[in-house]
Amino acid sequence: MKIGLITDLHISATEDLPLGIPVKENFCKVLKACLDFHPDMIVLNGDLCHKTGERSVYEWIKAEMDKTSIPYFGIPGNHDDARLMHEVFGWPLELGEMYYTFEKDGVRCIFMDSSKGKISDRQLSWLREELNKSSMTASCIFIHHPPVICNSRHMEPAYALENMDDVQELFRQFTDRKFLIFSGHYHMETSVSTGNMTVFVTPSTFFQIDPDTVVLKKLHDQIGFRIINPDSSQKCITSVHYIT
Ligand SMILES: [Fe+2]
């Protein structure tokens, strides 16, 4: 199975050029480049909207995605509205939170909702139950906020996942499993391994943030996406691709 991951679109209904950046054009360019890899499915990993969730933005993205004829799924970021996403895209919503799971080609895909900056107790309980139920050794977790420290000096002091310790502790309990965790949010490319978790952070289609400065600073003008090739034997090949 091959998954294309696109994150942090930051599309606005009122601003064509947030910070002077052509966000719709960027998304279309990235989507086209991603499709060249012939993914079996595409994941939109949060922050589809720029500041707050807007129905017309979701409808525009849906129209673009529907043209691809490829299955696609998504999760909300901190700038999204899970309820509106549910109404437009139809992705599952449980008491206001967008978390769900399915198995595809021997890989368990788990979609989590960190849009409130933390993972709720209800969602953690659900995740524990799902992992107990599933005999899959390989799992791909999609969560907007990275649940580990990634050394972004601008983002982490103010915008890190509040209860990342709880999330890590849960995954660590499954000692025979390996978790591949795919995040966005930090607008950078990195990967961090700890215990049975590897967290892959994917660059944005908006702009990348310099992780080495405390003040917000654009790193470069490239935009990117990720291709993920998981298999049922706990192996995963993944690569980030940039376009200008
Ligand atoms: Fe973002």
* SS3 readout for 16-75: CCHHHCCHHHHHHHHHHHHHCCCCCEEEECCCCECCCCCHHHHHHHHHHHHCCCCCEEEC
pLDDT tops 90 at residue 235? no
Distance in Å, CA 233 to ligand 1 centroid? 32
Distance in Å, CA 175 to ligand 1 centroid? 32
Distance in Å, CA 8 to ligand 1 centroid? 4
Distance in Å, CA 185 to ligand 1 centroid? 5
pLDDT tops 70 at residue 232? no
pTM, two decimal places: 0.96
Distance in Å, CA 181 to ligand 1 centroid? 17
Distance in Å, CA 135 to ligand 1 centroid? 33
Distance in Å, CA 206 to ligand 1 centroid? 8
Report the pLDDT value the prediction gives residue 188, as an integer from 0 to 100: 96
Share of the chain above pLDDT 90, in %: 86
| Cβ pair 111, 119 in contact under 8 A | no
Mean pLDDT, range 110-126, rounded to an integer: 98
Cα–Cα nearest to 197, from 227, 228, 222, 172: 172
pLDDT tops 80 at residue 233? no
pLDDT tops 90 at residue 137? no
Distance in Å, CA 187 to ligand 1 centroid? 6
Domains of the chain with CATH codes? 3-243 (3.60.21.10)
* Model confidence pLDDT, tens digit, residues 138-168: 789 999 999 999 999 999 999 999 999 999 9
Distance in Å, CA 49 to ligand 1 centroid? 9
Nearest-angstrom CA–CA distance, 11 and 42: 18
Distance in Å, CA 160 to ligand 1 centroid? 12
Distance in Å, CA 26 to ligand 1 centroid? 14
pLDDT tops 70 at residue 110? yes
pLDDT tops 80 at residue 101? yes
Mean pLDDT, range 73-93, rounded to an integer: 98
Distance in Å, CA 217 to ligand 1 centroid? 14
For all residues of the chain together, what is the average pLDDT? 94
* Model confidence pLDDT, tens digit, residues 9-63: 999 999 999 999 999 999 999 999 999 999 999 999 999 999 999 999 999 999 9
